[in-house]
Chain A
């Protein structure tokens, strides 16, 4: 079956521009996660969606970052007024509804963002 898909695969933008990154989770997965992977750093949690519950936004680094999930499926991560330190790989993952926190997260291929 199809895995998690992300688009675009690569994005080059100029400092100060807004960017939108898209994630299509695995069909039937109600939980969706965004992470960021910077050069030399581990994966850093950004935001979590589960069904119709309020998202956990505790990992968003600044108010320039926002995300939404429409219809419980596709998600868009938006970065406003991009800065050079936003350059990283943005990874999306999805899982079945957490029950006791034991659900496996499956990752997409990522979007490589470069801010010039």
Chain B
């Protein structure tokens, strides 16, 4: 059964304190691993798609990496505006939907 597990559930950082979020997945034939950001009261906002082990993508203070079993979202020198819930997802076997983890809620204080 396809499954996505994210850890930790919640993470509190001080401004400038770098850290990483983890996404472990089990899927038959990876067709893309997706990272989204979700702010309270809003829909998920697309960040990255990774397709193969070893691939990396960056956007501002965020960098996503992928291995055969997990993905990491590295946050370098975070700012308060990076506070949000970060969601990880993989495409299901039929290719018709995304299977999401429960997310990591990040709080960055100044």
Contact = CB atoms under 8 A, between A and B. Distances in A.
Contacts, number: 67
Given A91-B43, A110-B43, A105 B98 contact: yes
B71 to A, nearest CB: 16
A71 B36 CA distance: 29
A101 B51 CA distance: 11
Interface residues of B, number: 27
Contacts of A35: 97-98, 100
Interface stretch (A11-19, A40-48, A80-88): A40-48
Nearest to A31: B96
B42 A106 contact: no
Which among A4, A50, A91, A107 has the highest number of chain B CB atoms within 10 Å? A107
A43 B101 CA distance: 8
A87 to B, nearest CB: 15
Nearest to A9: B41
B87 A43 contact: yes
A18 B4 CA distance: 33
A111 to B, nearest CB: 10
Given A42-B103, A100-B31, A104-B49, A48 B96 contact: yes
Interface string B2-42: 00100000000000000000000000000110101000011
Given A4-B43, A105-B46, A110-B43, 7 more contacts: A33-B98, A44-B100, A45-B96, A58-B94, A58-B96, A100-B31, A101-B95
Interface of B: 4, 31-32, 34, 36, 41-46, 49, 51, 87, 89, 91-92, 94-103
21 contacts: A33-B96, A35-B97, A40-B102, A42-B4, A43-B44, A43-B98, A48-B96, A58-B94, A59-B97, A91-B44, A93-B43, A98-B95, A98-B96, A101-B32, A101-B95, A102-B31, A105-B34, A105-B98, A107-B36, A107-B46, A110-B42
